[in-house]
Every structure is written in C-alpha cells, then in structure tokens.
C-alpha cells in the first residue's frame, strides 16, 4: 500500500513537471541544455585532470613535442631538456662549446 502511495505521488510530481515543461519557451529549454552540456564537459575535464595527477591534460606542444638536434653530437633531444646558447641548441650543458 505504501509503495502505491509513493508511485502515485511520483506520478503526480512527474505530471506537474511535464505540464510546466510544456509551457517553458524554447529559449529556456536551450539554456538548460547548454547548462547541462557545460556541466558535463566540466565534469569530464575534472575527471581527466585527476587521472593526470592534477595537471591539465594538454601540455603545450612546444614544451615536449619539439625535438631539436644537438649542435655538437647531432642527437635529437626535446627542447625542454636541452640547452639553448646564443641561438644554438645542445643536448646537455657538457656539449656547449
């Protein structure tokens, strides 16, 4: 009996919400859609940030993607790991002439 009452209440609430939803102008519906979409995107970004130990997912390409050849030995090293002296790139401080 208790379950039936709960079901009836739920149905009445759902019906009332549906009636209200019918009267909402399309612009408001779009606004709600945008809000839910943004919330979803933010949750996704937060989840990805957590997986990366709190750091943003995308690290700038210039920091790790670009490989440069050492002027002394020719070894290709990520730009962030090498040394740049007066326009010349070296794989380590030992190779700087």
Binding residues (CB under 5 A) for Zn ion: these are 70, 72-73, 75, 91, 95
Nearer to Zn ion, 56 or 78 (CB): 78
**Whose Cβ is closer to Zn ion: residue 37's or residue 78's?**
78
- In the complex, least distance from residue 71 CB atom to Zn ion, rounded to whole angstroms: 7
Minimal CB distance to Zn ion: which residue?
70
Q: How far is the CB of 80 from Zn ion (least distance, A)?
A: 15
Cα separation of 30 and 82, whole Å?
51
User: Shortest approach of Zn ion to residue 73 CB, angstroms?
Assistant: 3
Name every residue whose Cβ is closer than 8 Å to that of residue 95 and which is 6 or more positions away in sequence: 70, 71, 72, 73, 83
Q: Which is nearer to Zn ion, 47 or 97 (CB)?
A: 97
């Amino acid at each position: 009996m208790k379950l039936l009452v709960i079901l009836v209440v739920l149905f009445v609430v759902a019906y009332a919400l549906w009636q209200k939803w019918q009267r909402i102008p399309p612009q408001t519906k779009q606004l709600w859609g945008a809000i839910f979409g943004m919330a979803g995107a933010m949750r996704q970004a937060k989840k990805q940030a957590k997986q990366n130990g709190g750091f943003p997912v995308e690290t700038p390409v210039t920091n790790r993607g670009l490989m440069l050849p050492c002027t002394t030995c020719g070894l290709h090293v990520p730009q962030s790991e090498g040394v740049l002296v007066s326009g010349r790139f070296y794989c380590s401080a030992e190779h700087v002439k």
